[in-house]
Amino acid sequence: MGRIQNARVLFNSVPESYPVPGETTVYDPSQTIDIEAEPLNGGFLLKTLVLSIDPYLRNRMQKPEEKPNLPPFQIGAPLEGIGIGVVLRSESAGVEPDFTVHQEYAVYPELVGGMQILQKLPELPLTVYVNAAGIPGLTAYAGWKEYSEAKPGEIAFVTSGAGAVGTIVIQLAKQAGMKVIASAGSEEKVKFMESIGADVAFNYKTNDTRAVLEKEGPIDVFWDNVGGDVVDAAIEFAAVGGRLLECGSISGYNAGHLGVKNFSIIGSKPLHVHGILVLPLLPKYLAEFCTTIPPKLASGEIKYAEDISRGLDKVGDRILAVQKGTSKAKAVVVVAEEA
């Protein structure tokens, strides 16, 4: 076969605000590889098939001295993130890892980081395994099971309800017998949230969030993927003993985070606040999730949506779209087909 293209998406510079395609990230098609002759040195050669474009990638686009809560990307190196690949050649056990660099081909010495063998249902496409059947779905499932204490008749409020995590949370809340309020940033997303069961779905850009919560609340469970002023609104209209589940704060990733102004209300109600981090919850919920959620996705009992782009060169644009909220659903880049 000889040498073929091995394109990469490189981290080129730390952004001041939103990541700029071609400046913050650079698509580099100059590198080549001989996939039949590349030395493996006891490892395996992985061909990247699918990449997940997630909000947290922006948190890794920082300087090390800023002490980000996630390891920062290295200038000049490929981005890293959740993905799925197929092993082409191996000097170790054959695997399909769920973690990969943003590069068409790469040699790994062993299963590193979060790599694991993918047990795929034939009814589901690979893209779902970086979406509802992957880390986003697992985050929603484990966080909800661990912290929501949901009871029939209670009221839940979910921000970014059309996103990968929020989509699953809405459906879990409905299955628990709750009334669900959900917000997103477009009318198309509002319709989708209604289609998966949200009782009150609204566009936060054209509606007053506080007015909606005052009318439809008080809030027993607040699942937040956004951060910023909506947290203050949820605290203001939370029920006594409400649970605040903080999963993400994308509103502050590019413009600076806003502090909570009415923090004292947390103690006066009193409210329970939990940060959602999926890794510590894996030992407790991973096996249960894998046997519960993918079959329900395959049967259609649980619904999901995807915004798929094709080609590694689309990564920079999709990262920006996720940060600006213009993705229609969970953003996925298909780098190559399964064959």
Q: Do 144 and 260 share a structural domain? A: yes
Shared-domain flag, residues 214 and 86? no
CA 137 – CA 47 distance, rounded (Å): 24
pLDDT above 70 (res 110) = no
Residues 124 and 139 in one domain: no
Helices then strands, counting H and E runs in the chain, come out as 8, 16
149-182 per-position pLDDT tens digit: 999 999 999 999 999 999 999 999 999 999 999 9
The CA distance from 6 to 106, in Å, is: 9
Whole-prediction pTM value?
0.89
Q: What is the pLDDT of residues 251-263, one digit of tens each?
A: 777 877 777 888 8
- Give the C-alpha separation, 127 to 133, whole Å: 9
Q: Is residue 287 part of a domain?
A: no
Segment among 3-17, 64-78, 82-96, 229-243 with least mean pLDDT: 82-96
Q: State percent of the chain over pLDDT 90.
A: 72
Contact 244, 224 (CB under 8 A): yes
- Backbone φ, ψ for residue 266 (5° rounding): -60, -40
Nearest by Cα to 338 from 137, 81, 131, 124:
124
Whether residues 119 and 210 share a domain: the answer is no
Average pLDDT value for the chain: 91
120 shares a domain with 34: yes
Cα–Cα distance measured from residue 178 to residue 269, given in angstroms and rounded to the nearest whole number: 21
Same domain as 68, residue 9: yes
The residues that bridge with 90 in the sheet, in sequence order, are 44
Looking at the structure of the chain, the number of domains it has is 2
Residue 321 belongs to a domain with what CATH number?
3.90.180.10
Torsion angle of the four alpha carbons 322, 325, 330, 335, in this order, in degrees rounded to the nearest 10: -30
Query: What is the reported pLDDT for 76?
Result: 96
- What average pLDDT score do residues 103-128 get? 78
Q: Residue 165 belongs to what H/E stretch?
A: helix 164-175
Element (H, E) at 136: helix 135-147
Are 83 and 147 in the same domain? no
Q: Which residues form the domain of 203?
A: 135-279
Neighbours of 278 (CB within 10 A): 20
Alpha carbon distance, N-terminus to C-terminus of the chain = 17
The mean pLDDT of 184-206, rounded to a whole number, is 97
Do the domain assignments include residue 299? no
What confidence score (pLDDT) does residue 107 get?
A: 85
Task: Compare 26 and 263 and report the one with higher pLDDT.
Answer: 26
Residues in the chain: 339
Does position 278 have pLDDT exceeding 80, yes or no? yes
Q: Which residue has the higher pLDDT, 19 or 42?
A: 19
Please indicate, yes or no, if residue 120 is contained in any of the structural domains: yes
Band (pLDDT 50/70/90 cuts) for residue 96 is: very low
Using alpha carbons, select from 145, 154, 142, 163 the residue that is nearest to residue 226: 163
Q: What confidence score (pLDDT) does residue 261 get?
A: 84
User: What CATH number is attached to the domain comprising 151?
Assistant: 3.40.50.720
Q: In what order do the strands lie in the sheet with 219-224?
A: 200-203, 179-184, 155-158, 219-224, 238-246, 272-275
- Three-class secondary structure of residue 323 per DSSP: helix
Model confidence over 38-61: pLDDT tens digits?
998 888 888 999 999 999 999 899
With respect to residue 297, please indicate whether it lies within any of the assigned structural domains: no
Do residues 113 and 95 make contact, with C-beta atoms less than 8 angstroms apart? no
Would residue 118 count as lying in a domain? Answer: yes
Instruction: Tell me: do 154 and 240 sit in the same domain.
Output: yes
Q: pLDDT-derived band of residue 1, with 50, 70 and 90 as boundaries? A: low
Establish if 165 belongs to a structural domain.
yes
In angstroms, the CA 31 to CA 3 distance is: 10
Residue 140 and residue 273 in one domain: yes
Are 58 and 180 members of one domain?
A: no
Say yes or no: 198 and 275 in one domain: yes
Same domain for 154 and 109: no
In a domain, 300, yes or no: no
Residue 301 forms part of a structural domain: no
